[in-house]
Structure 1
Amino acid sequence: MLPALMQTLALWALLRLLLRAEAPRQGARRAWLYGTAWLIGATGWIYVSLHHFGGMPAPIAGAAVLLLSAALSGYLAAVGWAWVRWRSGVWWRDAGMFAGLWLLAELARALIFTGFPWGASGYGLIDSPLDRLAPWLGVYGLGAVWAWCVACLACGGRRWAAPVPLLAWVLALAWLPSARFTQMHGQPLRVALLQGNVPQDEKFANERIVGMLVWHAAQLKAADADLVMAPETAIPLLPAQLPEGYWDALVAMFGEGSGRAALIGVPLGSFEQGYSNSVVGLKAGQADSYRYDKHHLVPFGEFIPTGFHWFVALMNMPLGDFSRGPLDAPSFTVRGQRIAPNICYEDLFGEELASRFADKARAPTVLANVSNLAWFGDTVAIAQHVQIARMRSLEFQVPSIRATNTGATVVIDAFGRVTDRMPTQTRGVLNTQVQGFAGQTPFAWWASRFGLWPLVAVGLLLAVAGAGRHRLSDSAPPTPVG
């Protein structure tokens, strides 16, 4: 509840400042400063990646974080400008207009230039009464409802009696027991989640690779579980580059008679065919190994935008240009559970994961994320990624399991609660279990068919419907507030 309260107070303060703005340009500046501060706090860990592991000089790395935050805050600057210019002075219309503009700004950040919606407002609402709306609306719809609630309070001014009934209705709805759209499916899976805790500056060092391979192979062999998961690039070399017999031995571990399965993060491909950041699934009875190739690649980390090869060279990244995998990837079936892998920050894009839920009969019963967050050190990025995974479980009402290099290796149930976890920055194996759930939430239904476009339409409708006839120009006096 504390994150929700803090961000609510911050947005309320911004709205009160916007109500006192003397011109649209002033509203844009205030919203831009708010957004820049918000995003520096949410994405400051990028500095660690750029400076400590990328070798970028500290001033340049700090400037890069500032410039990224400032650029992404341009969407909120547009919100401040438009709201100050077109608000009507009628509190309920102004609140609706602000919610629509806020929704459009968050959607723009999620969709434009491959999308980077890290720090979207809906994630701060986990464990608040409003998180019950996640399986209906998704994280961005949830953020829009929250923005509307805060705008009702801010625009009501001294007229507290006006917005209170509407807010009371929303909160009463949110306090009701969560609607359940999925049901338990099959028997619980015993899972072993590996956390190698390999420092990023050692991960690709030749003198460290053998020890890393030996440790992961030993844990994969020793694990007494239905499913063993190793993190993203737990095996940092292509199978053809591994010591002779190593890959064949891994495949044999999970062959006939083993009764076990594995998901292992490993790069795949060739110079001729291109490379992919992948997860390989091993189990008995399959002609070919299961393969999942990462679909949503990280700009500058996994693919290089045209004209920016100099930037990757400056960061000294060992991994450069990967090929993109298909969006609608099949699940990996283990003892009747349909496991849907995703890699690193792919679980930030719930609308893309939703494509796997289009067919209710084949929808995943467990989400499985493998990550390597060693790039970002022991920073808030780890806790933020857990919040993201919790939101995906809330949206789809299926559990999530996460195997990571440095943390957080966790199990999340179908209702967004962390049920088991391993300490971060430690080496070990989390032996636990997960209960699969089958079904389809309203969010999974509409997002799998239409993506985020229904929310774009709602945002436009609210913004246009709430706009007043009289526009405030940059030279007009401010409208009095209560």
Structure 2
Amino acid sequence: MLRAASIPGLALVAGSMHAWAIALPVGGQPVWWLQLVALALLVVLLDRCRSALHAAGLAWLFACGSIGGAVWWLYISLHAYGGLSSVVAGLSVLSLSAFLATYYGLAGAVFWRLRPRGPAMRAGLFAAVWMAADLLRATVLTGFPWGVGGYAHIDGPFSALAPWVGVYGIGAAAALVAAMLAAMLARRPGNRMAWQPLALLVLILVAAWSSPEGQDRERAPVVSVTLLQANIAQDRKFESATGVRDALQWYAAQLLTASTVLTVAPETAIPLLPDQLPAGYMEKLRSRFATGQQAALIGMPLFGGLQGYTNSVVGLRPGADAYRYNKHHLVPFGEFVPPFFRWFTRMMHIPLGDFESGSVGQPSFEWQGNRFAPNICYEDLFGEELSARFRNEAQAPTVLVNVSNIAWFGNTVAIDQHLHISRMRAIEFARPVLRATNTGATAVIDRFGRVTHLLPRHTRGVLVAQVQGGERITAYAWWLSRFGLWPFWVLIAVVITAMSRATRD
């Protein structure tokens, strides 16, 4: 029998377990069954609540533990590199977690208020409200869905759902199963009915998960790639006498001698604007790739319009105009200043803090029979934005390319979490992903989400591999590119409406 005083603490612990399920603090592996256990424990606690307000509080505490446990490394960027005091940096991370947790608090209240008697219907309602909270977190105020529950299932049977309903659909399916498990644990009358839909779902998942190779026969040509990882410490990266000089020398040496079809350098590999570079630097690189069979994608800041600048990827290749991709989904406070918050950014000492945003669905970099689609840093967290490139199937990417610099967050679980995010995009869109990063994880991921090549993190290295692009358009890519996240919202509205009527009856 649980004591009332222990329930809030248990909700926090369950939330922390949920964060660990995304990527364990040691080793960084996802643990799909732990995510189910954590959510099931939350449902058990919600069933014991005395009021909707009580349920909201417990769900909020759970989410605080989950979100705070997943993004605690933001403290490093704010304190160690942003110059904020330890107190202000800590409070900033706590405030972000508390704000994002309000969506889940609302979900808990709605679940408690509308919960029907049957375990299957209760599970369906919980899945709907939990997905609604995930979607609000992903979209409101630019969105920050880092660490949502679906990512825990990248190596489990639920990953079979990714080409159909993506990470949010996986999260809803996991919430459905967790609520069924909670009903069984609670031993309520009629619990045996929960076994039937649960067993059916598990059988479908296992069958689909067991044979991914047969799902993808449409492929683009195999190409050789080189991915660069300079491992330049963040506190030196923008220092002209150390990090800048080191970056310019090392990346130029690798780019000038690369022999693969494509070479990729990470986000802000060249950390200066074009007019700040040494004389002839870019001209030498352009000349290197003006002839022959090699091309390059290089992360660097560029001038935008209206005297602004962009976080960009430059493409160099023979016989074609220069290619440019401008980051669309900018990081609040790091890359743009939200309204009324300039006072906060003045407290930090982060260079290049107010970029201009590129458009959604920019063209891919076409080379040697493949279409390489760059995205920068945490842009690959927003699959609904990446999907815009799949609307025109003839021009859809064959390979996704992520260039990142998450040295801001040290040698932490953030590296593992970001790798899992890229792996989820690979499965959702049936596309290999190339990851070129400053400190890790620099990797090649195949179109089934498997890491085939990986550089050790926080080391300087060059990763050479072969990659084969994909051509098949998954169901998820098709409908997401046309309708966005709206089908999920329609489904949520239908479920909540049906449950509210069932509750009144």
TM-score normalised by length of structure 2? 0.91
Partner Cα separation in structure 2 for residue 137 and residue 4 of structure 1: 17
Distance 1:214 1:337 in 2: 29
Unaligned runs of 5+ in 2: 1-28
Contact 1:182 1:398 in 2 (8 A): no
Aligned position for 2:53: 25
Aligned to 1:474: none
Does the aligned pair in 2 maintain the 1:97–1:464 contact within 8 Å? no
Q: Where does residue 127 of structure 2 map in the other structure? A: 99
* 1:148 correspondence with 2:176: yes
Listed as ranges, the gaps of 5+ residues in structure 1 are 472-482
Q: Does 1:135 align with 2:142?
A: no
Work out whether residues 101 and 460 of structure 1, in 8 Å CA contact, stay in contact via their aligned partners in 2: no
Aligned length, in residue pairs: 469
Could you say which residue in structure 2 is the equivalent of 1:237?
272
Q: Residue 109 of structure 1 contacts residue 117 of structure 1 at CA under 8 Å; is this kept in 2?
A: yes
Q: How does 1:47-66 map to 2 (within 5 A)?
A: 47-66=75-94
Query: After superposition, where does 1:276-315 map in structure 2 within 5 Å?
Result: 276-286=310-320, 288-315=321-348
Q: Which amino acid aligns with 1:103?
A: M
2:86 maps to amino acid: A
2:8 corresponding residue in structure 1? none
Q: Percent identity?
A: 49
Cα distance in 1, alignment partners of residues 41 and 278 from structure 2: 60
Counterpart in 1 of 2:106?
Answer: 78
Cα deviation, 1:174-219, whole Å, max 9, x if unaligned, reads 1113385543434311100000101111011011212220111001
C-alpha contact 1:87 1:468 (8 A) present in aligned 2:
no
Q: 1:181 to 1:412 in 2, by over 3 A?
A: same
Q: Is the 8 A contact 2:360 2:388 kept in 1?
A: yes
Report which structure shows greater RCO (CA 8 Å, sep ≥6): 1
Alignment of 1:273-352 (within 5 A): 273-286=307-320, 288-352=321-385
Question: Which residue is 2:67 aligned to?
Answer: 39
Structure 2 residue aligned with 1:224: 259
**Match of residue 174, structure 1, among 189, 195, 205:** 205
Aligned to 1:203: 237
C-alpha deviation, 1:4, in angstroms? 1.1
Q: What's the CA shift for 1:161?
A: 2.3
Report the Cα offset of residue 466 of structure 1: 2.2
Computed over aligned residues only, the root mean square deviation of the Cα atoms, in angstroms, reads 1.4
State the alpha-carbon separation in 2 of the partners of residues 7 and 185 from structure 1: 34
Q: Hey, what's the Cα distance between the residues in 1 that align with 2:412 and 2:306?
A: 38
Rate the CA distance shift 1:324–1:399 in 2: closer, same or farther, 3 A: same
SS at match of 2:104: helix
- CA distance in 1 between counterparts of 2:45 and 2:212 reads 35
Q: Equivalents in 1 of 2:212, 2:220: separation in Å? A: 22
Output the TM-score relative to the length of structure 1: 0.95
Decide which of 208, 217, 220 is 1:183's aligned counterpart: 217
State the SS of the aligned residue for 2:297: strand
Q: Give the match's secondary structure for 1:233.
A: coil
Rounded Cα–Cα distance in structure 2 between residues aligned with 1:93 and 1:243: 66
Task: Give yes or no for contact 1:396–1:443 (8 Å, CA) kept in 2.
Answer: yes
Conservation of the 8 A alpha-carbon contact between 1:200 and 1:375: yes
1:6 offset after TM fit, Å? 1.3
Using the TM superposition, give the Cα deviation of residue 351 of structure 1 relative to its aligned residue in structure 2, in angstroms: 0.6
Give the letter for the 1:245 counterpart.
Answer: G
SS in 2 for 1:147: helix
Cα gap change, 1:162 to 1:271, in 2 (>3 Å) = closer
Question: Does the CA-based 8 Å contact 2:264-2:436 persist in structure 1?
Answer: yes
- The answer to whether the Cα contact below 8 Å between 1:181 and 1:439 also exists between their aligned partners in 2 is no
Contact 1:238 1:268 in 2 (8 A): yes
Measured after TM superposition, the shift of residue 79 of structure 1 is 0.9
Distance 2:65 2:300 in 1: 37
Distance 2:335 2:408 in 1: 13
After TM superposition, give the deviation of residue 55 of structure 1 in Å.
Answer: 1.2
Match of residue 457 from structure 1 = 490
2:411 match: secondary structure: coil
